[in-house]
Amino acid sequence: MEVHHHSHSARKKWTHYLWEFLMLFLAVFCGFLAENQREHYVEHQREKQYMRSLVADLQTDTANIRQANTWFEKISSACDTLMRNYEQFMGNASPETHRSFQFILAGYPDFVYTDRTIQQLKNSGGLRLVRDHDVSDSIVAYDANIRDMVIEESAITLFYDRLHELAARNFNFRELDEQQNNPGSVAGIVHWLTTNVQDKEQFYNILRVYTSTLNSYIRYRKRLLNKAARLIGLLNKNYHLD
């Protein structure tokens, strides 16, 4: 009977195990690097998409502000005309001043903030994706400036409402409607209901404060336009959005 002896394989050297460990480590490490790189790429694409959306919002805001500024400047001009000829206005003598009066009372355009992207950045933690501190600081500053402008607009509303209240109390608007419906009449004259000089001077005082507040508001809006333009330029440059 033959006896078979088991062959004994040579024992592996410790360097072999070390090499296997290094290969495994490198495989895991490279996988980690690839995953990390992929996450960075995805986040960068999200960041760029946010910035592209923000530029669109800024362009909408600037177009609305620029268009409304033209209207506000016309209101300011009408206020200047009315104050410059207020003596005639008090005596119902000038159709031009009454046209200015009616234009002032017609109202003004409201500002609606296009803040969809900024709200997403703030509420979803998207601001952490913005790696450039100049960009993130500029975005936060612009948002604060816009909200300050909305507060400024509340002052405009306050004095406008006061003017409207005094006008409703002291002027005959029914007569104005009759003038417009009668082609033979001198249209555009709104007669005072009061002969009290103090009431007429009070209207002038509120008009003057309204005009001053309005001019300050216009200057603020123009400065904001410049800031928005610089932010658009910064985003286009840093994220190659052009």
- Asked whether residue 217 carries a pLDDT value surpassing 70, the answer given is yes
Domain, as residue range, for 92:
14-239
199 lies in some domain: yes
6 lies in some domain: no
Could you report the per-residue pLDDT of 27-61, keeping only the tens digit for each? 665 565 555 555 554 556 788 888 899 999 999 99
3 lies in some domain: no
9 lies in some domain: no
Which of 98, 137, 97 has its CA nearest to residue 230?
137
189 lies in some domain: yes
Rounded CA-CA distance 82/67 in Å is 24
Could you report the per-residue pLDDT of 111-164, keeping only the tens digit for each? 999 999 999 888 877 777 788 889 889 999 999 999 999 999 999 999 999 999
1 lies in some domain: no
Looking up tokens 């805001």, which residue turns up?
Answer: 61
Number of domains in the chain: 1
Instruction: Quote the pTM value.
Output: 0.79
Element (H, E) at 49: helix 14-84
216 lies in some domain: yes
Name the region of 147 (left: φ>0; alpha: ψ -120 to 50; beta: rest). Answer: alpha
Rounded CA-CA distance 161/107 in Å is 10
48 lies in some domain: yes
Rounded CA-CA distance 62/230 in Å is 12
